[in-house]
Amino acid sequence: MRSLMVQGTGSNVGKSLLVAGICRALSNRGLKVAPFKPQNMSNNAAVTVDGGEIGRAQALQARACRLEPMTDMNPVLLKPESETGSQIILQGKRFATAKARDYSALKPKLMPYVLESFNRLKNQFDIVIAEGAGSPAEINLRKDDIANMGFALAADVPVLLTGDIDRGGIIAQLVGTDVILDPSDKKMIFGFVVNKFRGDPSLFDDGYRFIENKTGWAGFGILPYFEDAWKLPAEDALDIASPKKQGKPHIVCLGLSRIANFDDLDPLSNDPNLQVTILKSGQTIPTDAALVILPGSKSTRGDLKFLRKQGWDIDIIAHHRRGGYILGICGGYQMLGHDVADPEGIEGPCGTIPGLGLLDVRTTMSQKKALTLVTAIHEVTGEEVTGYEIHIGQTKGHDCQRPFARIDGTAEGARSKDGRVMGSYLHGLFSNDAFRSAFLEEMDISASSLNYEVSIETTLDELALHIEENLSMDKLIAVAR
């Protein structure tokens, strides 16, 4: 059983996509491969077949391996709830909520769980491809590290370091990392990759040789920029991007400060017939919006305050008055009601905050968390929807008598009397092609014939081919141990 780890010179250098591509390439070679990330920080989570949650990037990597997501693939998931604190998910389940400083003291207790999950995967698969977090050169985080070199040393996993030439300064990124690392950490690195290159790679020959000579690491290739990366689910809301499609029906999503599970938007963004915009702080909801989506949030009450600070509450009311449609998903659904109560202080100080009042419902937060893969029937179109629930809180009220969908006959979600305001706890709705088309048709929005799931599979295979053509895959496999 072999393993290797992809670490980066910083955040957002392409580690997650590189791991997904390597996983698909190895799977295409007939190997049983699994992804692994010891510690992730993201509010974009996926529900696993074993009833837990992991980072959405690891779910995509599992798909690249042709596997269902499992909690062992991401044993520690940090879900930020504020600027200084996060909920800690351990092997798929809520473990604690901690401030950043307190989390440092917890890390030694988490390492045994990380190694346990990793070893379970190693015992089941031919090769495990691990992913680091941020940069191993963050010396302030090195003590008791479980995300990068601390894990690599404890599990004896060789490291491939990748840098992002698209942001500039890649020689300093790679050579600077070598300078900063302790000798024991340096020994774990067997090579490097230059990622996101644009243009003629031969122009970087001198820089490539300089990095090899200065660090003593072997170069494993220059990976050109993968233009279709936007078609795959992004882990960071800042990474969501799609070609501008002016003149197409406009769907607008509020860019909440604690936005969660925003990959709900991906099938809409990928549709060539639709223009999708995620509003940034300070922007107003455009008057040409046909549908406004209030997405999931890791802090519903906190994001209600953020929403009002942007003036989006006024914009939403005006949008509804103009005859526009509104869909709230998960936390966004909770915001559409009369109020959100948190008597136990689960998401912050105890108390109740008024909602937008567009649905006749009320939400009460509770300790119990829903983590469920579901199949439902959309009430209006009759289309089947497969998705998942991942939320705390219960929502009740008169508008629940007009459900958004039914799960095994039980009402789910709510609709307003005029039918133009809808709320649901179901994530992954728009990945269902027939539902997506029928749902939008009710608003006189014509979707394309995009087969979203096929599009993801095709893009993963193209990414794997892209990596096979530009990286030394045989050498990578040989180095894994």
Catalytic residues: 330, 427
Pick the closest to residue 162 from 54, 50, 9 (CA basis): 9
- 386 forms beta bridges with 375
Strand positions, DSSP E, 126-188: 127-131, 159-164
* Dist CA 144 CA 153 (whole Å): 11
CB distance 181 to 137 below 8 Å: yes
Token code pair at residue 62: 């599992």
CA angle 369, 372, 376 (to 5 degrees): 125
Residues 6+ apart with CB under 8 A from 258: 43, 80, 81, 297, 298, 299, 302, 303, 306
**328 closest CA partner among 362, 305, 297, 306:** 297
* Longest Cα separation, the chain: 70
- CB proximity list for 305: less than 8 A, separation 6 or greater: 353
DSSP assignment string, 270-282: T-TT-EEEEEPTT
Task: For 472, list phi and psi in degrees, rounded to 5.
Answer: -85, 80
Query: Distance between CA atoms of 353 and 298, rounded to whole angstroms?
Result: 16
C-alpha 280/C-alpha 117 separation (Å) is 38
Q: DSSP for 220-286, please give it.
A: EEEEE--GGGGGSPPSSGGG------TTSPEEEEE--TTEE-GGGGHHHHT-TT-EEEEEPTTPPPP
Give 199's contacts (C-beta < 8 A, 6+ positions apart): none
Burial class (CB in 10 A: 0-12, 13-18, 19+), 385: buried
Residues recorded for the chain = 481
- 158-to-131, 138, 152, 215, 298 alpha-carbon distances in Å: 11, 19, 7, 16, 35
